[in-house]
Structure 1
Amino acid sequence: MREIEIHDYARQLLEAHGARAIAEAARNAIELEAKGEFELAKDWRHIEDAMKLMRGPHQS
């Protein structure tokens, strides 16, 4: 996946599902890694990271 596609998809997921989209992306990556689909898992990890950046730092 290209960088622009990852960020677009990450933005759409965050808008649609909020913070739970980050957990879902992590779950998808774990499942794909377990199946040996490492390239797809890498994309999901990248999407997860992009969403974390978009969300910003935790506030206390």
Structure 2
Amino acid sequence: MTLEVQIDDYARRLFSASGDKAEYEAAQKAKECEARGDRGEAEQWRKVREKIRILRGPSMS
């Protein structure tokens, strides 16, 4: 399984489990990884967050 497929799969599962909180959770994970100097993992979490944003779709008002 490629990294992009894994990121997509994880984003879908996180969104399914956490709903609207999923994007925030992914952002927090990216921030934590960045703080401890793990830029590679932080970038993966940013990609997860972007996928979740796409899954959520446009905001309805």
RMSD: 1.0
Q: What is the aligned partner in structure 1 of residue 3 from structure 2?
A: 2
**Pair 1:53-2:54 in alignment:** yes
Q: What is the aligned partner in structure 1 of residue 33 from structure 2?
A: 32
Q: How many Å separate the matches in 2 of 1:28 and 1:54?
A: 18
Where do 5+ consecutive residues of structure 1 fail to align?
none
Where do 5+ consecutive residues of structure 2 fail to align?
none
Q: Normalising to structure 2: TM-score of the pair?
A: 0.93
Q: Which runs of 4+ in 1 moved over 2 A?
A: none
Cα offsets for 1:6-45 (capped at 9, x unmatched) = 1110000011110101101000100110111000000000
Q: How many Å separate the matches in 2 of 1:10 and 1:19?
A: 12
